[in-house]
Structure formats: structure tokens, C-alpha cells
Structure 1
Amino acid sequence: MAPQAQILECGTLAAAARAAGTAEGLRLILLDLKMPGAVGYSGIALLHAERPEVPILVVSSAEGAGVADEARQLGAVGFLSKDSDLDMIEQAIARALGGRATKPVPTGPQEEVQQEIASLTPTQLKVLLEVLDGKLNKQIAHDLAMSEATVKAHMTVIMRKLGVQNRTQAALVARSLGLNLKH
């Protein structure tokens, strides 16, 4: 590929989110759906929220007809099996770096909600993941070093974006889309 490329390797989703938030000149994120700290599609959603301008290419052993589509709906530009040959991986990376990978247009209610999850800010997504852990606003405020009023404001925006009336419904919607407890 590019001899001048710099590779940042992260062993957990938390480390990847920190790296994505601070790395300068980041041009591509290669993500394993099953990396430690990620459950379901939480890694895609979190990293896409952290750096929406950086393409995410999922390279994973996760299989199933809908896995690639759901990954794309949450912000990934492509999906590769870990069993893919080197040529296929190189082509996918080149397409992602060249901006040729496309995100499908929503075709139904679930796809629209997936795009709304992908549109959450990093802080909103962190609040939603804390709600998925069953935490109260006061606990979330402490964990994320913000006021309880700020947590409530984020929840109001999250619920509006997801088209739900309360935090329980927000958690159910997020969980139904593959966001889950361990993040």
C-alpha cells in the first residue's frame, strides 16, 4: 500500500476510541467487531461517532447475511471476512481510502434508526451505552464527569433522534440494533 502509512494498533474498543479521538491525520479505521470491549456493533457506532469523517472498514470473523449490511448502516464503508485473500483486502482498503465505498440509503424503519444511532455524538453515544448498562443519570454523570443536568439534556436529544419517549425505549431500540452492554 503506502510506504509512508502509520499504523496504530489498539487491543480494546476503549483504546481504539481514545486513539480515534486524538490521532492526527487518521485516514482509515480497520475494526474487528469482536475486539475486546465491543459487543454487537457498538465499536462501529462509537468510532463513527468519534470520527465521522474517517471511513471504517470492518474486518471480522463475524458471519451472516445481515452482518455486513448492519455494519454499513451504522457507519462502516465496507466489510471483509478475516478469511479474505490479500488482494481483496488491498482492494477494499484502496476503495475506502479513495472514497469509493458508499453507505446505502435507508430502505426502512430499522435502517433509519441505525442511521440515527450513527448520527449520535461521541458523548451522546457514551451516555446511551451507560443507559444500556442500567445506570441512573446520577451514576452516568459521575462516570462521564458531567453534571446530571447535562446527562438529562443528552438523553433528551438521544430520545428525539431515536423517536422514542423514554430511556427504556431508547435502550430497547439500541439493543435491537446490536448495541449491547459491554463497551
Structure 2
Amino acid sequence: MPSSLPIVFVVDDDVSVRESLELMIRFAGWQPELFESAQAFLAHPRPAVPSCLVLDVNLPDLNGLDLQSSIGDDRPEMPIIFITGYGDIPLTVRAMKAGAAEFLTKPFEDDVLLRAMGDALERSRDTLAREQTLHVLRDAYESLTPREREVLAMVVVGRLNKQIAADLGISEITVKAHRGKVMRKMKARSLADLVKMAAQLPLAPITRD
């Protein structure tokens, strides 16, 4: 059965670094996954649990910054902690601008890296939770009929039932029925709740007969 522990990926071509970090990660209660190259890491399937990546800047095949660029959009839930033996301000700036969680220059204290990994895993957990919430929200929206989506789009911009009825050429009672179904399907507790949901969705355009 797959482990549900948070995963800390390590990509470093130095075996002594990998072994040292493996012990540290296990001691902290997380699951280590170790790779000697960027290509080996890329061949690993995307995890379904909170994760972060401890990444050496200088790698033999694809360097750390190029790896960051290649996975940045695909794995937003996986914060990257760079480690390097060379202090290089331009590299640091480039990595941080691209979204790196941390950039550490060796030697660094173990507790500094542990704290960075803990913060990154918490950030990953939050991102995964938001993605799950959005997935459920999109599924609910997909369950609406085209007419219900039209009513939703009008309701959340403040249109009154009688205005919606006039725009769509239907009765006010029918509008109320559609609103009720929208609230139930979207699991919205209030109009304010529905407005917040709609802000996260690509709503159908408002049409008028």
C-alpha cells in the first residue's frame, strides 16, 4: 500500500549528500526519495501527497535551474529548495524569481534545512487542498444545465429574479426554481458563498434572447 507520508525529493549527484539528507528526512518523519540526476527525477510519477524538492543547482545532465523551469507549471504543489556549494547572487535571484521556496549555500545548519523543508511541505499541503476544493467546485459547475449556468452568471452579478426572467424570457417562478437548483448543486450556503465560488470558475457568458 502506498505511503501517505509527505515526500521530500532530493536531486543531488553527490552520494554522500544524498545519504546524509536521507537520514535527516527519515528522522523528521517524512519519506525520502533520492535521485542522482534531474532525468531520473523526471521519470518518477507525480506524488499524490504533500511534497517538496531539495535540488542541487549543479547537476551533470539538466541543471537545477533548468529542472525548475521544466516542472514549474506542471507541479505547483511541489516547492523547491535549492542547495549549492557556491554563493552566486544572480543564480539566487533567478531561482527565487521563478518561485523557489529557499536557496541555501553550503555549509548550512541542519535545522535551517529542516525548517525550510517543513515550511515547503506545509505550503504543498495548502496547495493540494486548494486544488482539491477547486476540482470539487468545477465538478459541481459541470453538473449544472446550460440554463442554470446562465442564471448563475446573472445572480452573482446582482441581477434580480424579475430582471433575469425578463432577460431570459422565462417566468420569475422558473428563475426561482433554477436558483434553488443552482444553490443545491453548488452546495452554496448563501448568495455570498455562491459569489465566492463563481469568482473561481469560467462562467458561461450571459445571453439575451
TM bracket (short chain): 0.3 to 0.5
Larger Rg: 2
Greater fraction of residues in strand? 2
Task: Tell me: higher relative CO, structure 1 or 2? Use CA pairs within 8 A at least 6 residues apart.
Answer: 1
When normalised by structure 1's length, the TM-score is 0.47
Q: Provide TM-score, normalisation by structure 2.
A: 0.42
